[in-house]
Amino acid sequence: MSVFEIIRFAIRGLFTNRLRTALTTLGIMIGVASVIILLAVGNGSSKAIQASLDRLGTNSLQVRSGGGGFGPRARASASSQKPLTILDTVALADKTQAPDIKQVAPIVSTNGTCVVGANTSTPSTFYGTWPAYYEASNTSIQKGSYFTNDDVTNARRVALIGQTTATALFGTSNPIGQTMRCSGIEFTVIGLTSVKGASGFQDGDSLVLIPITTMENTITGNQALSSILVEATKSTTTTAAQSELTTILDARHGITGRKTADFSVFNQASLLTTASTSSQTFTTLLGMVAAISLLVGGIGITNIMLVTVIERTREIGIRKAIGAPKAAILTQFLIEATILSLLGGALGVVAGLIGSHFTIAGTKPVIVPASVFLAFGVSILIGVFFGGYPASRAASLRPIEALRYE
């Protein structure tokens, strides 16, 4: 008897038991589709968190003066503290000692008010820095141009401003090329930064950036840096970059233990870790729900298969009594189970892929390719096992036992 013939028998078997076929297929389909969709939702939400963190600049570190402590004790040791300097900044840019640091930008921060005619604005961020700052802080411009290293070297009085500041000072007119007076000094606006949005309580677009040399020469005088912005080579090397910069600054400031440290490091990556851990937990939870639905689907299949096993065992008995070899019977029932689970699995994948196009619970699902293969594979295993196992047991019986089976 040819395999082709046995496949025909299997297909005929599926058609003669339509309800069973439909229910089993449906069970597998729901299981597979829910695994794919639920995991896609979990993945989508963690992708969304990742994306918003990326926008913040996750591979940047900020070094600030002062130890980790707060209050009187931190103040008491203030006299022994060394400030952060440009030399510290230059030391951190050393590629051999700090291979995981991409670039470094010094920041001198001040509070000042800018005036244009009758309009005034007090930017929440008023920094003197140099061009490495743009990339390290994810700052780009929507209009005009950046100030350059040349502007820094010559301490030119040029400024980049954020959208909020621009609107407050210049209204709807184009700020590029116009002048403004900040802390009594006149600056030419050469660039308007792209909108960043608010992060926390701060308006990221209430911003004035000027060359660090200009800031020191005209506004703050030669003084210590407020902070140093450090950009790691990748988001995954942030931790390594942090330990490198700590080693370098410890050596330069003569620090022996963390308690006496006169600087502290703020790490965006640790924020990322926390956020992605919680989104992973979420995904795991959804994955468990999905696995349970696959299991329930599997139990449904098993149930249907077992309910029909009495009828099928009798049928197998009849087939054996009229001369069917065990192999033919086994192959037929295995093919039946395989077709069922392939069909159910394929429909489930289609349903899952379609379902993942809709926004679910405010999340745009992103399909995890592995989940498609996993769900499909597991459904086929379940189908073939629970379809094939009772059949193989029945096929091993002597015909008379199979015929008497109840």
Partner 1 sequence: MAQAEAVDSVVDKQPVIEVRDAVKRYGVGDASIFALDGVSLTIEAGEYVAIMGPSGSGKSTLMNILGALDIMTSGKYFLDGIEISSMDENHLSIVRGRKIGFIFQSFNLIPRTTALANVELPMAYQGIKPKERRARAMVALDVVGLGDRINHEPTELSGGQQQRVAVARALATRPALLLADEPTGALDSKSTADLLDLFDQINAAGRTVVVITHEDDVAHRAKRIIRMRDGKIISDKLNEERVA
Q: Is 78 in the site for partner 1 (CB under 8 A)?
A: no
**Residue 12 or 75: which CB sits closer to partner 1?**
12
Closest approach of partner 1 to the CB of residue 302, in Å? 22
Q: Is 392 in the site for partner 1 (CB under 8 A)?
A: no
Size of the site for partner 1 (CB under 8 A): 27
**Residue 100 or 336: which CB sits closer to partner 1?**
336
Q: Which of 54, 150, 186, 311 binds partner 1 (CB under 8 A)?
A: 311
Closest approach of partner 1 to the CB of residue 406, in Å? 13
For residue 24, the number of C-alpha atoms closer than 13 Å in the C-beta half-sphere is: 30
Q: Is 102 in the site for partner 1 (CB under 8 A)?
A: no
Q: Is 216 in the site for partner 1 (CB under 8 A)?
A: no
Q: What's the Cα-to-Cα distance from 216 to each of 32, 35, 88, 105, rounded to whole Å? A: 64, 59, 17, 15
Binding to partner 1 in span 320-349, by CB under 8 A? 320-328
Q: Is 5 in the site for partner 1 (CB under 8 A)?
A: yes
Give the start-end residues of each E strand in 50-157: 60-65, 101-109, 114-116, 119-121, 125-129, 141-144
Alpha-carbon span 298 to 305, nearest angstrom: 10
Of the candidates 158, 173, 165, 163, the residue with the CA atom closest to the CA atom of residue 115 = 165
Closest approach of partner 1 to the CB of residue 321, in Å? 6
Kindly state the tokens that stand for 205.
């677009």
**Residue 251 or 327: which CB sits closer to partner 1?**
327
Binding to partner 1 in span 12-31, by CB under 8 A? 12, 16-17
Task: Print burial letters for 192-224: b (CB count within 10 Å at least 16), e (below 16).
Answer: bbeebeeeeeebbbbbbbbbbbbbbebbbeeee
Closest approach of partner 1 to the CB of residue 38, in Å? 38
Alpha-carbon span 254 to 250, nearest angstrom: 6
**Residue 184 or 325: which CB sits closer to partner 1?**
325
CB 340 within 8 A of CB 14: yes
| SS3 label, residue 48 | helix
CA diameter of the chain: 107
Closest approach of partner 1 to the CB of residue 16, in Å? 4
Closest approach of partner 1 to the CB of residue 394, in Å? 13
Task: Print burial letters for 139-174: b (CB count within 10 Å at least 16), e (below 16).
Answer: bebeebebbeeebbeebbbbbbbbbbbbbbbbeeee
Q: Is 157 in the site for partner 1 (CB under 8 A)?
A: no
Closest approach of partner 1 to the CB of residue 314, in Å? 8
Residues binding partner 1 (CB under 8 A): 1-2, 5, 9, 12, 16-17, 311, 314-315, 317-328, 396, 398-400, 403
